[in-house]
Amino acid sequence: MKQLSMNLAGLVLAGTATAEPLFTVTVAPIDGIAGRYGITAELTGFNDQGFPVLCVWSDTSFELSGDGSGITIDAASANPGYTSLLFGSPIITNGTTASFVGIQPSEPLGNPDGSNPLSVVEFDYAGAIGALSLELVGQNFGTWSFPYPSGGPSPIAYQDSLGNTYFPIEIVIVPAPATLAVAPLALVAMRRRR
């Protein structure tokens, strides 16, 4: 399991200390479809002072890499919130590495998905799960309804365009159930050799 964690002592919003927030991106196998994975994002511990989170991952930019096997992001499975008149559809590249860049703008420019956790997109990968990784690249934000000085929604900055992080981030790769079932068998085989 690949994991990136950053800890901050706390976050202050509107002069009030909050519980430590955590932004988690999870890559997990899709049940019943070999080599198919889904990406979800979840924001926990975020005290929004009574203002709802409009989208936990509104500005989304990540790269997937593996063992050299091809990775194909399924554009048709992308969350519909990433398609808007202003920004169009997500930009997706596929190959030995794959990337996804999408924006869920707030109304009236778009219709962001307020689900938490948020289903982002699915992809196909036939390589070794232990080699699979997801890295946030560029700007990655969420949005909440606390009014910005301009009157619009406020950003929740996880990472800026330079890669500086402002929030605790955790990336979790969940192995396929068959992979989990083989691990105990390998331990039994190793014990029998002794």
Listed by start position, the domains of the chain span: 11-193
Residue 184 is predicted with a pLDDT of 47
Task: Determine contact, residues 27/172, Cβ cutoff 8 Å.
Answer: yes
Q: Nearest CA to 167 among 39, 33, 43?
A: 43
Q: Nearest CA to 135 among 108, 158, 105?
A: 158
Q: Nearest CA to 95 among 121, 124, 70?
A: 70
Q: Is 143 helix (H, G, I), strand (E, B) or coil?
A: strand
pLDDT exceeds 60 at position 8? no
Strands 53-65 and 133-136: antiparallel
Q: What pLDDT digit, counting tens, does each position of 108-135 carry?
A: 788 899 999 999 999 999 999 999 999 9
Angle subtended at Cα 41 by Cα 39 and Cα 44, rounded to the nearest 5 degrees: 155
Q: Rounded distance, CA 90 to CA 83, Å?
A: 7
Q: Nearest CA to 42 among 60, 52, 63, 56?
A: 56
Q: What pLDDT digit, counting tens, does each position of 74-84 carry?
A: 999 999 999 99
Dmax (CA) for the chain in angstroms is 69
Angle subtended at Cα 153 by Cα 172 and Cα 101, rounded to the nearest 5 degrees: 45
Q: What pLDDT digit, counting tens, does each position of 158-185 carry?
A: 999 999 999 899 999 998 775 444 444 4
Residue 91 is predicted with a pLDDT of 97
Q: What pLDDT digit, counting tens, does each position of 133-153 carry?
A: 999 999 999 999 887 777 788
